[in-house]
């Protein structure tokens, strides 16, 4: 069942040292870098794209070769 957002941890949470939070925040990835990485993962999220990249890592191939290797029409 869905529980609404809570402002504080529940009683089972030991939490972390509050001194760690600012240090971690300072080291966080930038918004731009996070968006770029998300776009990369989105592009790699398709199994066919992964296979194409893997094939191209073996050798430079033309589109016809890729269609043959991947059994695509």
Whether 15 maps to a domain, the answer reads no
The span from the CA of 67 to the CA of 59, in Å, is 14
Q: What is the pTM of this model?
A: 0.52
Domains in the chain: how many in total?
A: 1
pLDDT of residue 21: 82
Token look-up 């790699």 returns 44
Q: How confident is the model at residue 10 (pLDDT cuts 50, 70, 90)?
A: confident
Whether 5 maps to a domain, the answer reads no
Whether 42 maps to a domain, the answer reads yes
Note the pLDDT tens digit of each residue in 11-63.
Answer: 777 766 667 888 889 999 999 999 999 999 998 899 999 999 999 999 999 99
Cα 7 to chain centroid, rounded = 28
The span from the CA of 39 to the CA of 68, in Å, is 28
pLDDT of residue 34: 97
Whether 48 maps to a domain, the answer reads yes
Whether 7 maps to a domain, the answer reads no
pLDDT of residue 17: 61
């Amino acid at each position: 069942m869905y529980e609404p957002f809570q402002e504080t941890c529940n009683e089972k949470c030991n939490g972390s040292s509050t001194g760690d939070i600012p240090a971690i925040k300072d080291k966080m990835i930038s918004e731009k870098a996070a968006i770029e990485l998300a776009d990369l993962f989105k592009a790699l999220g398709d199994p066919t794209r992964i296979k194409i990249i893997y094939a191209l890592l073996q050798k430079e191939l033309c589109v016809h070769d890729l269609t043959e290797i991947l059994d695509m029409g």
